[in-house]
């Protein structure tokens, strides 16, 4: 009887002659350099997009929010998907984890800082915060028919250094019998101002809307914000 040649066991090799990694864990001496490589590639892509995008955008506001968030939003989910697809290839999966880390730091950190600067310059829009005396904020006020209520407003979202001129205030209500009084008609960014709502005696019990507008003109273009507040007219006490 002739002996059959025994089959030799060989380890699959990846391109380049190196053994291909299976689904086992990555050794520590391999994990950290691969993670740093993915992080470095992510940071490089972030800086490249920010540099090219900043050079292409000529307007101070248009497109800036997208530029601040597009790379972190792509790197984070993209890195997670890359790691999941290559779950049986630990080195490539670790590379995807590096992309995810880069999306958070410095990607998301720089994006949040950019959004803060845009809000401060008025690009992301301002806002008006209504609040009761000594309170934090209001979304609605209650006033009896024939009565009045006083609260405050604060113009936020703009930096006084970039918007030194005052904003002109204008307010109106959705019903003729509900009157809005503004003791101050011009305020500066960040300034707190009083607001008074007076309900006529013959106003029906219902919910009405108060609209307040703050505007100014800077470098030939109007800048401002419009905010609303619900006024609940109740039966006289």
> pLDDT tens across 7-30, in order?
444 444 444 343 444 455 556 667
Q: Are 47 and 106 in contact (CB under 8 A)?
A: no
Q: Is 19 part of a structural domain of the chain?
A: no
Q: Tell me the C-alpha distance between 234 and 204, whole Å.
A: 8
Better-scored residue on pLDDT, 136 or 4: 136
Residues 111 and 145 in one domain: no
159 class by beta-carbon count within 10 Å (0-12 exposed, 13-18 middle, 19+ buried): middle
Q: Which of 87, 120, 153 is the last residue of a domain?
A: 120
> pLDDT tens across 103-144, in order?
998 988 998 888 877 765 556 567 888 999 877 788 899 999
Residues 142 and 197 in one domain: yes
Q: Is 108 part of a structural domain of the chain?
A: yes
Range of the domain at 164: 127-234
237 three-class SS:
coil
Q: Is 70 part of a structural domain of the chain?
A: yes
Residues 97 and 165 in one domain: no
Residues 116 and 55 in one domain: yes
pTM, entire model: 0.54
Q: Tell me the C-alpha distance between 185 and 182, whole Å.
A: 6
Better-scored residue on pLDDT, 3 or 108: 108
Q: Is 112 part of a structural domain of the chain?
A: yes
Q: Which of 99, 120, 141 is the last residue of a domain?
A: 120
> pLDDT tens across 158-214, in order?
888 888 999 999 999 999 999 999 999 999 988 999 999 999 999 999 999 999 999
Give the CATH number of the domain where residue 164 resides: 2.60.40.10
Please count the structural domains in the chain. Answer: 2
pLDDT for residue 28: 64
As a whole number of Å, the end-to-end CA separation of the chain is: 113
DSSP bridge partners of 212: 171, 227
pLDDT for residue 169: 96
Q: Which of 62, 97, 120 is the last residue of a domain?
A: 120
Residues 138 and 50 in one domain: no
pLDDT for residue 60: 65
Q: Is 79 part of a structural domain of the chain?
A: yes
């Amino acid at each position: 009887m002739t002996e059959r040649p025994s089959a030799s066991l060989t380890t699959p090799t990846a391109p380049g002659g190196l053994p291909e990694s299976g689904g086992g864990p990555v050794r520590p001496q391999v994990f950290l350099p691969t993670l740093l490589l993915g992080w470095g590639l992510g940071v490089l892509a972030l800086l490249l997009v920010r540099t090219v995008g900043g050079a292409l955008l000529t307007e101070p506001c248009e497109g800036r929010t997208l530029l601040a968030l597009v790379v972190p939003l792509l790197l984070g989910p993209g890195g997670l998907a890359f790691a999941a697809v290559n779950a049986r290839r630990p080195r490539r999966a670790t590379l995807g984890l590096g992309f995810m880390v880069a999306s958070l730091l410095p990607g998301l950190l720089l994006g949040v800082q950019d959004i803060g600067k845009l809000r401060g310059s008025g690009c992301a829009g301002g806002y008006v915060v209504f609040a009761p005396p000594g309170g934090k904020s209001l979304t609605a006020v209650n006033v009896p028919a024939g009565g009045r209520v006083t609260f405050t407003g604060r113009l936020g979202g703009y930096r006084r250094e970039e918007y030194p001129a005052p904003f002109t205030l204008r307010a109106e209500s959705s019903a003729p019998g509900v009157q809005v009084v503004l003791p101050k008609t011009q305020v500066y960014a960040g300034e707190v101002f009083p607001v008074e709502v007076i309900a006529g005696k013959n106003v029906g019990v219902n919910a009405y809307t108060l609209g307040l507008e703050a505007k100014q003109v800077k470098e030939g273009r109007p800048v401002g914000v419009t905010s609303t507040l619900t006024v609940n007219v109740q039966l006289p006490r």
